Structure 1
Amino acid sequence: MDIIKCKVLLTAVDAGSFSAAATILGYTPSGVTRIINALEKEIGFAILMRSHKGVKITKDGAQMLPLLRKLVHFHEQTEQLGAQIRGLDVGNLTIGTFYSIAACWLPEIIKAFQSDYPGIKVHTMEGANSDLLHWFEEHRIDCCFFSEYPVEGDWIPLKRDRLVVWLPQDHPKADLSVFPIEEINGAPFIETLPDCNTDIERFLREKKLRPDIRFTTIDNYTTYSMVAAGLGISLNKELMSVNWSGNVAIKPLDPPYYITLGIALPSLHNASPATKKFIAYAQKVIQNKYGEKM
């Protein structure tokens, strides 16, 4: 099975249309169509359903998709290892990440990594926990910055981050040094990324807390701005709070609650050379940044 055809197919599936895949790959839409038609003929059944709105995977195609992703993944690993043996450092690396880590950690990590390995292209996919788990299970990402969570694979801890509450500066509890978690019950609340299995959702379930969810957003900064406007309180990781300033009081919880952030991947032993190098750089940057080693 031709690996190029498989890559074109996966790009079309992920992009949602032949024209979008053509733009990403530098092909013409008709070229993408011919390649996928040839692959479907080779396999013996339709993989994609076409419509004027784009493409969707067929039922038979959905069964093939995980194997095709693995095929492309292991082909990439083979190419990287061959390049390493020849004394070259080339390849592609796809990183899954939280929005907070993408903003606060990744620029510094990628800068250090690219200075030594400019031939390795780094792609990022940002999302919530539910997105990251889905991409991880589908082998769409090589590794994933993630909160500690039961996944099939290896887990490399990087840093413990505490949960903090965001309060309007005129909130009655804004002058306290810590915020009692029982005060969350019934409080007007702004939730970021609802129904995405976030760390905040898991914390509220674990502690059996029921805030009065007045508003929901899909962006942390929007939530922060709504808290500053006095529309409610919210919760977030401390990491997400360090780069912004505004009319928001940021308080640790009482009792404190910590979340371990790290990197998940299917197998460190079987990871590509580029993935192993990238993880080593991430560990070094985070250790230098915070002065802690886990």
Structure 2
Amino acid sequence: MNHLLVLEKILQMNSFTKAAQALGYTQSSVSQMVASLEKEFGIQLLKRSRQGVQLTPEGEKLYPYIERSLRQYQILQETAGAIRGLETGTVRIGAITSVSCYWLPDLFKRFQERYPAIEFVLHQGDYGTIVNWIQDGTVDFGLMTADYGDGLAKQIIHTTEMKAFLPADHPLAKLDRVPIASLTEEPFILVEGGGYSEPLEAFRKAGVTPNVRYRIQDDYTIMAMVEAGLGISMLSELVVSRTNFNVVAKSVEPQVKRPVAIAYREKEALPIASQYFMDFLTANQQALI
């Protein structure tokens, strides 16, 4: 069944590479699974072009049956989960501020529509704290950057952009993209990462050094300080959507990305409810855009 799930994900994301990242496989293993399916069926299922990945004419005839099998498998999983006790359970998550505020509420609601008795315990913290929580069992898994946390398994579910946050009347706010070197010319308010910082890593790669005057953990406090003219900052694009602060968010040149991942130790050792929610997150990546 994993081979069919891989095929479905490739078609959903129009890419072998993106499907591999989403499912936590290497691109080579994804290609091998597709090749194994094609060998089993004796036909070529996929073709690649400049437009991405498409079904062959033979694949189009077969795919409705594959979809039907996948839906039946999903029903089978849910039924088995109910038998094993998924009617009740607790999902313990550690998450960074932007993810916990802007993604999780809607995802919790949608998951509980399917499993109404499932409870959630959410711990909010920086990268270092989340890693410690995962390692000592305080949380079942974390939602954080894929670039930090050696020794943990990670499955990327979405990539967000880190943007420059400026006072609305700041001269740089008139630019379409803000050169990263220009962010070193005045006080910088750094979001505290607890061991890893996307802004500091971006400055390092650019060969420049920011004038860090403040280190703050809360996004809202940082935006209030930017609005007050105390400095400039770099935060996730997620915080732009729900803010009334008089600040402007601009893309940085070169662009700064944050690959958000599910981080965990051993998935099979986690409670069934947490395993299901992890799978739910992977299956609903489009909702994170």
Normalised-by-shorter TM-score class: 0.5 to 0.7
1:135 equivalent to 2:133? Answer yes
Match of 1:213 in 2: 212
**TM-superposed deviation, 1:218:** 2.8
AA aligned opposite 2:274: T
Taking a change above 3 Å as real, the CA distance of residues 273 and 175 of structure 1, as seen in their structure-2 partners, is same
1:247 equivalent to 2:246? Answer yes
Match of 1:228 in 2: 227
1:186 equivalent to 2:185? Answer yes
AA aligned opposite 2:139: I
Unaligned runs of 5+ in 1: 1-81
Taking a change above 3 Å as real, the CA distance of residues 193 and 112 of structure 1, as seen in their structure-2 partners, is same
Select between 187-196 and 165-174 the one with higher mean Cα deviation.
Answer: 187-196
- Does the aligned pair in 2 maintain the 1:83–1:90 contact within 8 Å? no
Take 1:86 and 1:275, find their aligned partners in 2: how far apart are those partners?
13
**TM-superposed deviation, 1:123:** 0.3
- Does the aligned pair in 2 maintain the 1:184–1:209 contact within 8 Å? no
SS for the counterpart of 1:251 is: strand
AA aligned opposite 1:91: G
User: Which one of the candidate residues 110, 113, 134 is aligned to 1:112?
Assistant: 110
Taking a change above 3 Å as real, the CA distance of residues 195 and 260 of structure 1, as seen in their structure-2 partners, is closer
- Does the aligned pair in 2 maintain the 1:89–1:119 contact within 8 Å? yes
Unaligned runs of 5+ in 2: 1-79
1:279 equivalent to 2:278? Answer yes
**TM-superposed deviation, 1:157:** 0.9
Match of 2:5 in 1: none
AA aligned opposite 1:121: E
- Does the aligned pair in 2 maintain the 1:108–1:285 contact within 8 Å? no
AA aligned opposite 2:103: W
What is the TM-score when the length of structure 2 is the normalising length?
Answer: 0.66
Take 1:260 and 1:223, find their aligned partners in 2: how far apart are those partners?
22
SS for the counterpart of 2:174 is: coil
- What is the number of residues matched between the two proteins? 209
Match of 1:10 in 2: none
Q: Percent identity over the alignment?
A: 28
Match of 2:197 in 1: 198
Q: How does 1:1-294 map to 2 (within 5 A)?
A: 84-85=82-83, 89-148=87-146, 149-193=148-192, 196-290=195-289
What is the TM-score when the length of structure 1 is the normalising length?
Answer: 0.65
AA aligned opposite 1:236: L
Select between 87-96 and 204-213 the one with higher mean Cα deviation.
Answer: 204-213
Take 1:153 and 1:193, find their aligned partners in 2: how far apart are those partners?
21
SS for the counterpart of 1:210 is: coil
SS for the counterpart of 1:255 is: strand
- Does the aligned pair in 1 maintain the 2:90–2:274 contact within 8 Å? no
**TM-superposed deviation, 1:102:** 0.6
**TM-superposed deviation, 1:89:** 2.1
Take 2:210 and 2:280, find their aligned partners in 1: how far apart are those partners?
40
